[in-house]
């Protein structure tokens, strides 16, 4: 469907710099209702490395308990919470791209 984001899975691979290559990305969904969502110390460091992250701001992620208390994001479909925006950004940085082999 045009204009519809596929969500984690099929849309997690974006075109690379060379035609025909694919780059796995960390899929980050931010709830626009979260009081921390607009802070530059949360998304700024991640947006600076746009080749690694696919960041979506969503109206509501239906995680109201976490949303009211702390910075949070859905990262590759997993709820990730933190005490501060800086800590959340660090947790997101540690996540492997969707579809990447597990770390040993």
Q: What is the mean pLDDT of the chain?
A: 78
Any domain includes 101: no
CA distance 66 to 72: 7
Residues 33 and 60 sit within 8 Å (Cβ to Cβ): yes
Domain count, the chain: 1
Residue 30 lies in a domain: yes
Which tens digit of pLDDT belongs to each residue from 35-48? 888 888 888 878 88
Q: Identify each DSSP E strand in 1-104 by its residue range.
A: 13-15, 22-24, 26-31, 53-58, 72-75, 78-81
Cα–Cα distance between 26 and 4 in angstroms, integer? 19
| Confidence check: pLDDT of 20 > 60 | no
- Kindly report whether the global pTM for this prediction surpasses the value 0.85: no
Tell me the CATH number at 33.
Answer: 3.40.30
pLDDT tens column, 63-98: 998 888 999 999 999 999 999 999 999 999 999 988
């Amino acid at each position: 469907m045009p204009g519809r984001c596929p969500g984690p899975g099929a849309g997690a691979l974006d075109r690379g710099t060379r035609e025909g290559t694919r780059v796995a990305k960390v899929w980050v969904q931010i709830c626009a209702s979260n009081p921390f969502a607009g802070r530059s110390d949360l998304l700024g460091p991640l947006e600076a490395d746009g080749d690694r992250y696919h960041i979506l701001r969503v109206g509501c992620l239906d995680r109201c308990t976490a949303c009211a208390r702390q910075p949070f994001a859905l990262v590759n479909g997993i709820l990730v919470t933190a005490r501060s925006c800086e800590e959340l950004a660090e947790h997101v940085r540690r996540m492997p791209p969707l579809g990447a082999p597990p770390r040993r």
